[in-house]
Amino acid sequence: MKMNQSRSAKDLKKIVTTAMLASMLLVPHSAFAASALPLSDIAKNANKDAILKLNYAGVLKGYTDGTFKPDKEVTRAEFAKIAVLAMGYTDEQANLLKGKTAFKDLPASHWATGYINLAVSQGIIKGYPDGTFKPDNQVKIAEALTVYVQGLKISVNPASTGEWYYPYLLAADKAGIYEAKETPTISAKRDIVAKYTDRFMETPVYANGAYYDKDGNAEGTVKKLPVEKGTVASYDKASKKLKLVGKSSELAIPDSAQVYGNIVVGAQVEYIVKSGKVGFLTVSTADANIVEGVVKTGLNPTTAVGDEEKFKAIVGGKEVLLEVENGVNVSRSQIGQKFVAVIDEDGKVSSITFSQNTTTGVVEKVSSVSGSSAKKEIKIDGETYTLTSAASVKEKAHPQAKAASSSFADIEKGDLVELTLDVDGKVTAVTVTKLSVTDSIRIDTDENLISFDGVEYEVLEDTELYVDEDEVNELDDLKDGQVAILTFDENGNLTKVEQGVGVASNKLIEGTTAYQSGNPAKLATIKVDGKSYQILTTAKLTIDKQNVSPTSIGANQLNDYKIITWKYNVGTKDIVELTLEKQTVVGYVTKKSGDKITVNGKVYQLASGVTIDSNAASNDKEYTLTLNNAGKVKAVSGAPKTVSGVVDSVEVRKEDGKVVSAEVELNGKKYDVTDEDAVADLDQFEYATLTLNRDGEVTGATAKGKKAQSEVKFVGIESRVNGDKYVFFTDVSSSLKLTEDAQIKYYDGSELDEEDIKTTDKIDLWTNENGQVYVIVVAER
């Protein structure tokens, strides 16, 4: 599609006005919303549509980080690949020609040899007179256009005067590829190459037929982009059926299609059909000419001349006045509805499409306020919507269920909701769809279906199936007639089926009820995501790394704990295994202001009634903060930081009788000492506990351990069945038990492996207060 090269001042003013209006008309979650762009840096690029088509076709793709890098210059090697793929050849065909080339600067191992050899064989690319190809040089605009002119088999007479590329630029302009916008001698950037490549592939003068809109292919090639163009006559969002002006049949747009831009009556589209359905579609009408909003008033034919063809709309949160072309109608019955309109060059609405003013999303938060400021709110996709006092609520128990009357109290986080809005953006009706349901299921392995509640759901290729927390591959691994948890996505597709024992993690406990003995006993429960679960008396319960009996749980005891792992019986909510930890933060307080403290660079607020030392920001205590589910500090404890381990060395340096530095090495790490007296009594190989200040310096030290055996003969180390280890010395009857973390060292403090000790070695054995060896020292060998 070519644009006029010049416009009058009047035309320019209309375009600018339209663009300014369109910039305001960005209503999220439009009924006509399309897929998110697959490349993050092309939204405002003038060649966006060409980039999208070539990315879809695999001719010129984006990078793995999700960008296209439109301003990056293209090398000659990269362009050779783009050119042969644009002609319809494949990567596989190019791979057959990998290896030796005719160019002296192109080794056989170069990644692009197959593409370059294929391009040379088709006569579209040549090297330089000196026998080089210069694969890493940037391709120039003129070189790229020359390649495409040669690819179109257009006969070009060599230039008799001027630059060599003049005849090729003229041919490219006549073929509709080049319009003299870019300087021919500059390097070609990726977005400009995309523009030329797109036009090359749709040019109908290709010798053996075009790749867009003609039948037939060049020999050895495939038809990559059979793109068709048209104007939208109608679009039904519910059925996803599109009809184009002048076409008798409708086009189906499946969920898997790549659709970019707003599909609206009057918009120009380019699309690719695969297997009878749209696989790719982009709206080529400029974004500045498509506006979205909500109708506030209809047209009023009784108004004064000049105003009868105007209506008010809410766009971008502001009220605007829009004028329509003859034949375009906006009635009072459409007040409050969403619209998407195409604006012509005069700044008038040339076509308009209406839909119910609805928005859909997964609930992030539900809240209500009572009293004089009573209100009910639902948050989806980061935006909060307020319900009118008369708003109705209907609920679908699962995606295919019939909607039944419900209440606001039944709406939960994670539900899918469709909100119907009035002209002020308030919710007048809510339809809730539960995306998780527990029910007894019937299984049809022949048809790959699961049925319950009188409806059937197809088990898709990516539907996850779990039995007793293990993923299974076959539908018949599930048990027919038994309870299962079924999970759906926003489109109503079955994504997960769980039977037996379910698993979950990384959840927060909102409430706890106590275990109560009796006949029958009342099990302790926890509340998670608004749902209650029972802790069976036989459950394996671990709290803060300690085994705990489920019958000892008290009211509110587990509130605000984080679930590390849990297992529950699917369909019964009976917990059989539960591992919990407090939500804690450990560190030094670096700032204190009122009820706010900063720890590890993050600000935390103390909950009501919680206090901390007034000098917390300057003392040497390391604080442990226990958090509630709101992220506030509900408990604080503090103590100086300590580290424990085997002393490697103690060094006190003196000059002129004065101590100038002191340090201790513990478990291979060195610590500065603020007072040499703190380490005066420490000896190598003692087990010491060091007290540190907030700068990591030693302010105090205590040591335990003694040398129980000195320079005895090493016999061996024996491991028992239960995991215990014993070191034997002197003879086979003398032994001592090793601690779990026992170390082996040489007399100079260096570490040794167990197999490094020889029976010819003499060893020292250091024991703790329990008589167990915590370090074996090889004293002599």
Work out whether strand 258-260 and strand 277-283 pair parallel, antiparallel, or are unpaired: parallel
- The whole-chain average pLDDT of the chain stands at 87
Contacts of residue 371, Cβ cutoff 8 Å, sequence gap at least 6: none
Residue 1 has pLDDT above 80, yes or no: no
Q: Which percentage of the chain shows pLDDT scores above 70?
A: 92
The predicted model scores a pTM of 0.45
Residue 681 has pLDDT above 70, yes or no: yes
Q: Determine the average pLDDT of the residues in 372-382.
A: 91
The model's confidence at residue 29, banded by pLDDT at 50, 70 and 90, is very low
**Cα 485 from Cα 453, distance rounded (Å):** 13
* pLDDT band, residue 218 (cuts 50/70/90): low
Q: Are 695 and 774 in contact (CB under 8 A)?
A: no
- 414 conformational bin, left if phi > 0, alpha if psi -120 to 50, beta if neither: left
Within 10 A of 447 (CB to CB), how many other CB atoms are there? 12
**pLDDT tens for each residue of 698-719:** 999 999 999 999 999 999 999 9
Query: Would you state the pLDDT for residue 490?
Result: 92
Predicted local confidence at residue 233, as pLDDT: 87
Peptide bond into 520 cis (omega under 30): yes
Distances in Å between the alpha carbon of 259 and those of 281, 323, 452, 474? 5, 29, 34, 33
What pLDDT score was predicted for residue 234?
A: 85
- From CA 120, how far away is CA 305, in angstroms rounded? 68
For residues 405 and 387, is the Cβ–Cβ distance under 8 A? Answer: no
Alpha carbon 204 to its chain's center: 42
Report CA torsion sign: 65, 69, 72, 78. Answer: positive
Angstrom CA distances, 679 to 675, 700, 703, stand at 8, 7, 9
Give residue 214's Cα distance to chain centre.
Answer: 41
Q: Name 229's Cβ contacts closer than 8 Å, sequence gap at least 6.
A: 268, 269, 270, 271, 284
Residues near 710 by beta carbon (within 8 Å), at least 6 away in sequence: 764, 779
